[in-house]
Chains A and B, each alone.
Chain A
Amino acid sequence: MTAAIAPRPGRVLRFRPRVDSTPARLRLALVLIVVAATLFGVSVATAAHSRFVAARSAGERTEPLVVQAVDLHSALSDADATVSSTFVTGGEEPRVRRARYLADLRRASGALTVLGREADASARARDAIAVIARDLPRYAGLIETARANNRQGFPVGAAYLRSASDVMRERLLPAATTLYAVEARALNDALRASSSRRELAVLAVCAVILLVMLVAAQAHVARATRRVFNVPLVAATVVVLAASVWTAVAFVRQADAAARAQHEGSDPVEVLSATRVLALRAQADEGLALASRGSGDDDLADFDAALRQLGVTQPESGLIAEARSLARTTGSEEGVDDLAGRLATLRTVHTRVLDLERSGRYRAAARLAVGADGDELRAADGISRALDRLVPKSQRRFDDAAADASGAVRGLWLVVLIAAAACALLAFLGIRARLEEYR
């Protein structure tokens, strides 16, 4: 065997492998097919496995972190809004408000713990977690000092509440926003990695090289032996072709599922959560504006800005429009319409609160704003409940689509390796049978 490619004795100066004989050519063809099959097996199996890992990590690791980041942000916003409206009520704070504030703090620390353990190791995420870990106890301390002073009837309590609100709005919420941005971007990147075109290109190149080898070998064998078909080589070609098509279809199905996970799952979750944050901000603004009794112009302007971003005034732009267009693909616009209706109620109630306040009926305005007037459900609570119904649905859609995305390529690497090994074996069998004719 080795003699076939060794230089001829006496012609040392001119190195030339001996491939001019048919057996030598057949042997070379076999070596090339085995090399191409190995390349195909290793590259395509690696690509398939990396896409599987990306899809699984997007679904099982990154997305839960986005949910935690979103949860942290809305727990903090809710605490701010709850506390701001205790400014207004006077008297001992209602027990439900206190319970809600404490639950918000628990949710925030819970989410922070998970994020701290799992979060993307980027410096931005770590810094943001450090800021919240440091300033959340400070915020809670200021709130408790405010409460202790309030209970004794000391006006300095209101100053502590203002100070706490500053910590919330200048330190905690910006850090929570950073965390959200980092995690949401990581999710988009993971989904993109699980559906990138690069793996398809790798598949195409490897498959084409291997198929060209197989076909060329068959052409050569046919010419040399005057037999049209070499059964093992034909079988090898069919195996490679089938494995390639299977892989391509799996990759495309996976990319589809990843896109579905984003459009029907994570995007609606993010948009709806931002809606919640804005509605809470508007609520906090109203509380602060009432608490400052006539000098809350900044707060009122911010209330309007929040509603503008939501798109309550112009239905064709803003977050509600975005949520509606996302809901259209799954035919779940009803829920969004319900939400939009409740946001509109927030606005009408706000207008009535302002009218009462401007005509000097402060107590009535405050009672209306915190929903103290019995049967009228508080607009903000209605929004919260509508979102509690909508978000888990999108969450489930994400989970299903993410499971599809990883399921589409689960075990694919093994199929590819087996196909590559079978191809090499069949090629060996087919070519060995011809070589034996030259013995």
Chain B
Amino acid sequence: MRTGTRAALLVGVLATLASGCGSLTDDALRTTLPAMSGRPADEAPPSSSTKAVHCGDPTISLRPPDRLPPPGAMPAGTTMRTIQERGRLIAGVDQNTLRFAYLDPLTGRLEGFEIDLVRELARAILGDPTAVQLRVLKSTEREDAVLTHRVDLLVDAMTITCERRQKGLGFSVPYFEAGQRLLVRSSSTARRLEDLAGERVCATATSTSMTHLRAAHSGAIPYAVSQRTDCLVALQEGAVTAITSDDAILLGLHAQDPYTKLIGPRFAPEPYGIAVDRNDPGLVRFVNGVLERIRRDGTWQRMSDRWLRGLTGAAHPPVPRYGD
């Protein structure tokens, strides 16, 4: 009896002592792990459709008014009036295309032909070329930005196409005539798209270049990226053999890498237009009026001489065609 009591007592003491101490948990690990796991990866860029839409000549635009309203006196009820009251023009642009619109890493400023064009539009509406908010858009989101009015207008090397018109975009007359070509390493023996069968060719996901590349059925393997300069990274890192885009953009890439060359003929025309909402014909006519003026007073030529010298299509402004 005595032994039993003693043993029970000992076990009791041990149990009491054991239950007294704090317990170990994985709580901290459970709460910190999600924090350490970082942000989820971005989605892959959507790819463009391959089917072509026909609507005649897509570059035909609306005739401008005979006389533009003076800066700072926009007619009531127009988008220009809204911009005037806001005090600044919100424009969608790119920041990666040398000559047209790029971020100068030395100054941290956006520069280029298209940036100057935006400033001319701001001057026409507000009388102040610096009353501008530039919104840099990824190639994949720029159409939506216009349709949802995140930007007033888009000046972003956008090719005027029937497909984009059908999506609800309205276009000015072309402000530049580019054409699609190929950029390869200078050691490459390829001379045209047909020589690149079985090779990977880079283009931005939702560009007309990608649509044309798919439609050409040349045997080249399309490689989609979300921004134009990503193609140059892919070429330099050896992920692709060639880049296809507008010659204007390709020359900008070539300027950053002398070990590349442009090859082949222009295999598709790429007229660039200023994109706005199609349901805003007043704005289209106004923009066409501004383009008319800068073509006539030599501003277009001055801008072209500054930014586009050496490019096919830089010598003369495109000839406008108006539907009505």
Q: Chain A residues in contact with chain B, CB under 8 A?
A: 73, 88-92, 145, 149-160, 162-163, 169-170, 173-174, 176-177, 180-181, 184-185, 188, 191-192, 195, 197, 200, 203-204, 207-208, 211-212, 215-216, 241, 244-245, 248-249, 252, 255-256, 258-260, 262-263, 266-267, 270-271, 273-275, 277-278, 281, 285, 292-295, 298, 302, 305-306, 309-310, 319, 322, 326, 359-360, 362-363, 366
Whether B39 pairs with A169 at a CB distance below 8 angstroms is yes
Whether A277 pairs with B232 at a CB distance below 8 angstroms is no
Whether A174 pairs with B108 at a CB distance below 8 angstroms is no
Provide the bound-state CA to CA distance between A277 and B31, in Å. Answer: 13
Shortest beta-carbon distance from B21 to chain A in Å: 4
Residues on A with C-beta less than 8 A from B34 are: 309
Residues on A with C-beta less than 8 A from B10 are: 204, 207-208, 211, 241, 244
Residues on B with C-beta less than 8 A from A204 are: 10-11, 14
Provide the bound-state CA to CA distance between A252 and B107, in Å. Answer: 66
CB-nearest residue of chain B to A284: B39
A215-B3, A252-B21 are known contacts. Are A89 and B96 too (CB-CB below 8 A)?
A: no
Main secondary structure of the interface of B (DSSP, over half): mixed
| Docked complex: B155-214 residues within 8 A CB-CB of A | none
Out of B31, B32, B37, B95, name the residue touching A174 (CB < 8 Å).
B37
Provide the bound-state CA to CA distance between A131 and B230, in Å. Answer: 24
Out of B3, B32, B110, name the residue touching A274 (CB < 8 Å).
B32
Provide the bound-state CA to CA distance between A181 and B24, in Å. Answer: 17
Residues on B with C-beta less than 8 A from A271 are: 28, 31-32
Whether B233 pairs with A160 at a CB distance below 8 angstroms is yes
Whether B135 pairs with A159 at a CB distance below 8 angstroms is no
| Docked complex: B132-164 residues within 8 A CB-CB of A | 132-138, 141, 145
CB-nearest residue of chain B to A193: B24
Q: Does B42 contact A (CB under 8 A)?
A: yes
Q: Does B27 contact A (CB under 8 A)?
A: yes
Q: Does B97 contact A (CB under 8 A)?
A: yes
Q: Does B17 contact A (CB under 8 A)?
A: yes
Whether A90 pairs with B107 at a CB distance below 8 angstroms is yes
A156-B229, A169-B41, A177-B36 are known contacts. Are A188 and B29 too (CB-CB below 8 A)?
A: yes
Out of A91, A249, A262, name the residue touching B108 (CB < 8 Å).
A91
Out of A153, A160, A181, A263, name the residue touching B104 (CB < 8 Å).
A153
A157-B105, A295-B135 are known contacts. Are A259 and B14 too (CB-CB below 8 A)?
A: no
Whether A73 pairs with B3 at a CB distance below 8 angstroms is no
Q: A295-B145, A359-B133 are in contact. List 13 more A-B contacts (CB 8 A).
A: A90-B103, A90-B107, A145-B236, A153-B105, A155-B252, A184-B28, A241-B10, A248-B13, A248-B14, A263-B22, A274-B31, A302-B39, A309-B34
Provide the bound-state CA to CA distance between A250 and B24, in Å. Answer: 18
A163-B233, A252-B21 are known contacts. Are A319 and B32 too (CB-CB below 8 A)?
A: yes
Q: Chain B residues in contact with chain A, CB under 8 A?
A: 2-3, 6-7, 10-11, 13-14, 17-18, 20-29, 31-39, 41-42, 88, 90, 92, 95-98, 102-110, 132-138, 141, 145, 227, 229-230, 232-233, 236, 252-253, 255-257
Whether B17 pairs with A277 at a CB distance below 8 angstroms is no
Whether A252 pairs with B31 at a CB distance below 8 angstroms is no
Residues on B with C-beta less than 8 A from A212 are: 3, 7
CB-nearest residue of chain A to B233: A159
Shortest beta-carbon distance from B196 to chain A in Å: 22
Name 30 A/B residue pairs within 8 A (Cβ), A-sorted: A89-B108, A90-B104, A90-B105, A91-B106, A92-B106, A149-B256, A151-B105, A155-B95, A156-B229, A156-B233, A156-B236, A158-B105, A158-B229, A162-B230, A169-B39, A177-B36, A200-B14, A249-B17, A255-B22, A256-B21, A259-B24, A267-B28, A270-B29, A274-B32, A281-B38, A294-B134, A294-B135, A302-B39, A309-B35, A366-B108
Whether B95 pairs with A293 at a CB distance below 8 angstroms is yes
Out of B133, B227, B257, name the residue touching A162 (CB < 8 Å).
B227
A203-B14, A248-B14 are known contacts. Are A174 and B227 too (CB-CB below 8 A)?
A: no
A90-B109, A159-B96, A267-B28 are known contacts. Are A169 and B38 too (CB-CB below 8 A)?
A: yes
Provide the bound-state CA to CA distance between A271 and B31, in Å. Answer: 8
